[in-house]
Amino acid sequence: MLITLKLSMIIMLISMLMMMMASILSKKTFMDREKSSPFECGFDPKSSARMPFSIQFFLIAVIFLIFDVEITLLIPLIMILKITNLIMYMMISMFFFFILLIGLYHEWNQGALNWMY
């Protein structure tokens, strides 16, 4: 027990010493022009990388990803159809569809699905 404690302390000391030396010896420049600019095949960018985008498109994309992941959760329902009885299968699948419909209704009610506000 004592040997394990000593070895863990030595390992911790060596790793902290290596991290401190790496941070002291590294040549970091935070205002480097090439690192702060977006990479565009080695050339200077033609326009600003901070171009505005449509927030409605972003919301629709996020909602699509959320519902797409939830739809992939339906795949195990197909697999358990063989090992469960029909009534239990229908109850589980209807409960899952009900949760999906509640989420869709909430997004619709919040106005996230309207393209124009």
Residues 76-90, mean pLDDT to the nearest whole number: 85
Backbone φ and ψ of 11, nearest 5°:
-65, -40
pLDDT score of 74? 81
Burial of 13 (0-12, 13-18, 19+ CB in 10 A): exposed
**pLDDT tens digits, residue range 8-31?**
999 999 999 999 998 888 766 556
With pLDDT > 90 as the criterion, what percentage of the chain qualifies? 15
Q: What is the pTM of this model?
A: 0.47
pLDDT score of 15? 95
What is the pLDDT of the chain when averaged over all its residues?
Answer: 80
pLDDT score of 11? 94
pLDDT band at 41 (very low <50, low <70, confident <90, very high): low
Asked if residues 37 and 45 have their Cβ atoms less than 8 Å apart, the reply is yes
pLDDT over 60 (residue 117): no
> Who's near 38: CB < 8 A, 6+ residues apart?
45, 49
For 25, other C-beta atoms within 10 Å of its C-beta total: 7
CA 81 remoteness from chain centre: 31
Higher pLDDT, 9 or 66: 9
